[in-house]
Amino acid sequence: MENVCSHGFFSFITVTIIRNLKKTLMRKLLLLLTFPIILLTVFIACNKYKDSLPPPSSGNELPEEKTVTASLQGKVVDENGQAVADATVTSGDASTSTDDHGIFNFTNIKLSSRFGYVKVVKTGYFAGSRSILATPGSENFVSIKLLPRTSKGSFSASGGGVVTVQAGTTVTFEGASVVIAATNAAYGGTVHVYASYLDQTTADVAVRMPGDLRGIGSDGKETLLQSFGMMVVELEGDGGEKLQIAGGKKATLSMKIPDAEKASAPATIPLWYFNDTTGRWIEQGVATRKGDLYVGETTHFSWWNCDAPVGTVTFHVRLKDAHGTPLSYTYLRFTSPTLGTRGGFTDADGYASGLIPKGEVLKMEAMNSCGSAYFGVNIGPALGDQELGTLTVTDDRATLALTGTVVNCNGGAVDSGYVEARVDGLSYRIKVVKGAFSLAIPRCGDVPANAALVVGDYKTQQQSNSISVPVTSGSVDAGKLSACGSEINQYFNITFKGQTYNITVPPDLICYSEQPADTSRWYLFSVDQDYNNYGLTYIWWIQGKEFKGVGTYRTSGYMTINDVYYIHPQADDTSPKCTIKTFGAVNEFITGSISGQYKDSTDTWFPLTCDFKVKRRR
C-alpha cells in the first residue's frame, strides 16, 4: 500500500448521500466495508450537481447557515483500528451509542447545514468529533478514531510547572492560575494533565482530529485551514474535577513543527481553538516561530491548532465504469505537492463535489478497497470552479466469483436467507434465492486466503457458525452450507393482509433506536426491505412522553410492500397498540408485540400483528 504523508490541508471528509429513508439500514452495512486507506480529507459532499455545495466568494465569506433535517451514520475505532462499542454519540439534541462494531446511526435529526456536528465520548479516551456539511434529507457518513486519554504529568497548583506532551511539545503553567471549572473557585491541590499532540503529516490524522479543517477567522469569515500541528490539553483535580485556567491568567503552548513542514512554516501563524459545542475552529491569538517550535499563549484549554488560512474553489465530478455503471462509494484521493493528501467518497450514483485549494495543481485518483489507485487525472491550477464532468474508470483487479447452496437444519433448500462473507478484511452480504447464492468479490491479488462465511435462514431463525472456505480468484464453489447451529437473536414476525412475513435482522444491523430524553423523544423500530425477500419496509415509533418501559403504547408508522404504501399517520385511540414485554438494559433485548390496522392510499384499512425481538443499543 502506498505510504502517502498528509500535510493537514483540506477540510475533513463528509459524505452527503441523498437517499430514501428506507435505505438507512443499507448504509449501515456499507460502513462495514472498511477501506484500508483513509488518508484523505478534501471537503467532499457527495451530491448531484443540482444539490452541490454553494461556492464561497473569493474572500471566503461565511455562506448562509440553516438548520436542516438529515441523517448521520459513522464508525468509531480506537488507536489500533479496533471497533469501540458502547461509546456515547451525540449530535445536537440527538443521542445514541455505538454497537459492537463501533457503528452508530441517527435518522432525521436536526443539523447545521454548514457545521453539522457529531461528538463521541468514551471513558479512557479524549472526545472524538466530526463536522460536516449537511443538506436536507441527506445521509452522511463519518469515520472517527479516538485518542487515548493519557496522563502526561502533574504539578502543584500553587507553584505551577512545565508538562511535556512529547519531545519538543510542552505546556507551561503559572503558579496559582488554575480554578475548578464548575465553580470558578481557586484550586490548590495537584493538577493532573492529560494531553496529546497530533502531527499533521501522519497518515490517519484526518480521522483522529476533531471537527474538520474549517474555521471561523477573527473577521467572521469561514476558511479552510492548513495545519502545522495541534494538541489537546485537559486538566483534572485530585478528585477528578475538571479544571481550567483562571481569569486573567495564561498558559504557554510550545508545539513542535513537523519535519515535513519546517521549510514552509511561517514566522507567525494564527492560533485556533476548537469549540466542542458548535464543531468549529475559532481563531484566537497568534503563535510565533522559535526555531522548530511554535509558541503561543492561551487563556483556556480545549484543542489548539496552528493553522494558516487558505482560499478555495469548488469541484464537481462523476465516476462510471466501462459499462456505464456509476461507481458508488468510491474513494477519491486528491494530492498536492505542497499541501498534502486528502479525499472522500462518491455517493450512490457516483457523484462527488466539494472544496479544493485555490491555485494548486492537484492529482485526483480513484482508489479501490485494496488501497491502490486505479485511475488518475491532473486538476488545476484551480483558479476557478472545476467542472470535471463524467469520467470513465476501469478497475482491473482479480475477481472472486463465490457460489454455493444453502440448506436449513432439515436439509431443505433455504428460500429466505442470507450469506455474509468476509474476505481480505472486508465484509459482504447477499440474499439467498431459491437455496443458492452468487457473490462477486474484487480481490487485492491472487494470494490464497480463507473466506469466512455465515449463512442464515430467516424462516427458522437459525444461522451457521463461521465456515472457512479457501479462495484465490476466479470461480470458487463453497458447496452446500447449512444454516443451522445458532439462533438469530433479532426478528420481526409480521402478519398483514392475511400473509405472514418472517424477517430476521442480524445483530450487526440497526433495527431499534432512541432519541434524547426530552419531550420530543421517540423510540423507533424498523425493518428494511434490503434485508428481506418480501420487499417489505416497516417503521413504527412510540412517543417518548408516554414511554415507561414495559407496558402498552399507541404507535404511529408506515409500511411499504413491493412499493405499495400503507400508513397510520398519528398516535391516537385508533392507533396500533405496541406491548413491550421486556425492556432490557443496553445491549440486552426488547421483546414485544404490536396489533392494529394500517390503511392504503384508498383509505382501506387492513389488520396487522407483529411479534419482535431487538437489541437495545442505548
Q: What is the CA radius of gyration of the chain?
A: 26
Strand, helix or coil for residue 321: coil
d(Cα 46, Cα 67) in Å, to the nearest integer?
19
CB of 294 within 8 A of CB of 302? no
CB of 28 within 8 A of CB of 107? no
Q: What is the mean pLDDT of each run of 10 residues along the chain (618 residues)?
A: 28 26 32 26 36 34 74 88 92 88 85 91 96 77 91 97 96 97 96 95 85 88 87 96 96 94 93 94 96 96 93 85 78 79 71 80 83 83 85 82 94 88 76 88 80 86 88 91 84 86 59 52 72 78 77 88 84 84 79 90 90 76
List the one residue out of 140, 6, 135, 146 whose CA is nearest residue 67: 135
CB of 483 within 8 A of CB of 406? yes
Q: Report in angstroms the alpha-carbon separations of 209 from 143, 514, 528.
A: 11, 28, 34
d(Cα 587, Cα 572) in Å, to the nearest integer?
31
pLDDT, tens digit, for every residue of 453-468? 989 887 787 889 889 9
Q: Which segments of 392-493 does DSSP mark as H helices, in order? A: none
Across 246-372, where does the E strand assignment appear? 251-256, 268-275, 280-290, 293-298, 303-310, 312-320, 331-336, 340-345, 351-357, 362-367
What does DSSP assign to residue 303?
E
The residue count for the chain: 618
Strand, helix or coil for residue 222: strand
What does DSSP assign to residue 49?
G
For the chain, report the end-to-end CA distance as a whole number of angstroms.
Answer: 38
Q: Does the domain formed by 15-147+314-392 have CATH 3.90.1150.10?
A: no
Q: How crowded is the C-beta side of 590, counted as CA atoms within 13 Å?
A: 24
> What pLDDT does residue 8 have?
30
State CA 481 to chain mean position distance: 34
CB of 343 within 8 A of CB of 35? no
pLDDT, tens digit, for every residue of 542-575? 876 667 788 888 888 888 898 888 988 777 778 8
**The model's pTM:** 0.60
Exposure string of 272-300, with b = 16+ CB inside 10 Å and e = fewer, is bbbbeeebbbebebebebeeebbbbebbe
The pairing of beta strand 522-527 with beta strand 536-543: antiparallel
**CATH architecture for the domain at 151-200+209-310:** Sandwich (2.60)
- Identical fold for domains 15-147+314-392 and 399-487, yes or no, is yes
Q: Does the domain formed by 399-487 have CATH 3.40.720.10?
A: no
> What pLDDT does residue 507 have?
40
d(Cα 329, Cα 426) in Å, to the nearest integer?
14
